[in-house]
Chains A and B, each alone.
Chain A
Amino acid sequence: MQFHRGAVGVLAALSLGATLLAPATAASETDACMAGSGTSRPDSAQSAACCVTHTNYSLTSRGIRMPFSGVPTFKNGPGGKMIVARSYSGSVSAQVVVGAETEVGAVLARATAHLSTSLAKTNSTASTNTYERHISRDKYGNAKYVSWGEEVAYKKFRINRDCSRTTLATGRIQYPSESEGWYYWETGS
């Protein structure tokens, strides 16, 4: 998808399998660290391992829909056609499901860099998007204006000098994206 950087992000992220990005290391420190460790205990592969201490995040995400505030859910039927227009000034913001509010910015920075470039803390727009939809016979049509965002699960961890990992925090945060539109579904009543 190459609509623009937003669209690239949302839909490109969906096709990712498991992308692992190696943690960055400072070459000079690593070299010094490995040399020192190798000299002191050269016969132990485990103990010879030596890493530069730093903090990392691992992220996973799944697509979600986040409704805009101030825009009601529309319902019509059974059958026929419904026409809905978002002519309100609505907005939708990131929501912490589990974890600390203080991680919202840090996780977003990493998620936009590695998972979906279109994710944002807030999506607020006043442009109108009119949607017409034929409703299946004997069904009720429902429509809600949403941002097609992602729920990002994160694990914040520290890489220790011995290359082991210490988990510092975990959580889940829902982010809206720049992609927005009408989500439609049908019900029997």
Chain B
Amino acid sequence: MFAAGGALLAACSVASPQAATPSTPEPSASDSASASAETSGSPDGDESPRAPGEEFTVGDHSEEAIAVAEASERHVKSLTLTPAEAGITYVVHAACTGEGWMRYWLTVDEREVSASRLRCGRDVVDTAFTAEGGERVQLHLDAPAEEGEGSLAEVVPAP
């Protein structure tokens, strides 16, 4: 977790809308991830990705995950699955059910890299890190996970 000590805060400035600088050209999106399909004819339409009233749910972690943290019934489980692969950029994929918030923080070889606090009910993907190879990644979770609720954060290759 990021310490909130005075020395650290003094050394680290916080970005704000006023402090925002003109956009820096960002790296282009990777086109290595692709998919294709040929579809049969069907009526044209504007399909909503989520049907009205559809409940937000949290399922199992991805098979591609190299680290996972899950919370349910007030119990948190954190697993480091496999070392990171060189050259791969990873993201943290996080979501929780219910009305509350969750917070995750990420350590790479026991060094804190990033953290996020987010409201439940959304599907969040934040940049994690780009691996040099062999790093051990761990996710830590501070999540509500009341009865019937669940939280999940996982480190997976970037889309």
Contact = CB atoms under 8 A, between A and B. Distances in A.
A159 B104 CA distance: 51
A47 to B, nearest CB: 24
A4 B116 contact: no
A65 B4 CA distance: 31
Contact of B58 (A4, A72, A179): A4
Contact of A127 (B12, B31, B122, B156): B122
B45 interface: yes
A76 B105 CA distance: 20
A64 B29 contact: yes
A127 B118 contact: yes
A7 B123 contact: yes
Nearest to B108: A134
Nearest to B27: A185
B112 A105 contact: no
Interface string A177-189: 1111111110100
Measured as residues with beta carbon below 8 angstroms from the partner, the interface class of chain B is 35 or more
A106 B50 contact: no
Given A3-B95, A73-B24, A115-B37, A129 B30 contact: no
Interface string A1-37: 1111111111101111111111110000000000000
A76 B26 CA distance: 15
B59 to A, nearest CB: 3
Main SS at interface, chain B: loop
A185 B119 CA distance: 24
Given A73-B23, A75-B21, A110 B42 contact: yes
Interface residues of A, number: 86
B98 interface: no
B46 A121 contact: yes
Contacts of B95: 3-4, 7
Interface string B91-112: 1010100000000010000011
Nearest to B54: A5
Nearest to A80: B12
A41 interface: no
Contacts of A59: 36-39
B67 to A, nearest CB: 15
Contacts of A13: 35
B118 A129 contact: yes
A53 to B, nearest CB: 10
A19 B113 contact: no
Interface of A: 1-11, 13-24, 54-65, 72-76, 80-84, 105-106, 108-121, 125, 127-134, 140, 142-144, 148, 150, 177-185, 187
29 contacts: A2-B62, A3-B152, A4-B59, A5-B54, A6-B50, A9-B49, A10-B159, A11-B159, A17-B35, A18-B36, A19-B38, A56-B40, A58-B36, A58-B37, A63-B159, A73-B20, A73-B23, A74-B19, A80-B12, A83-B14, A111-B37, A120-B48, A121-B46, A129-B116, A131-B126, A133-B127, A178-B123, A180-B124, A182-B127
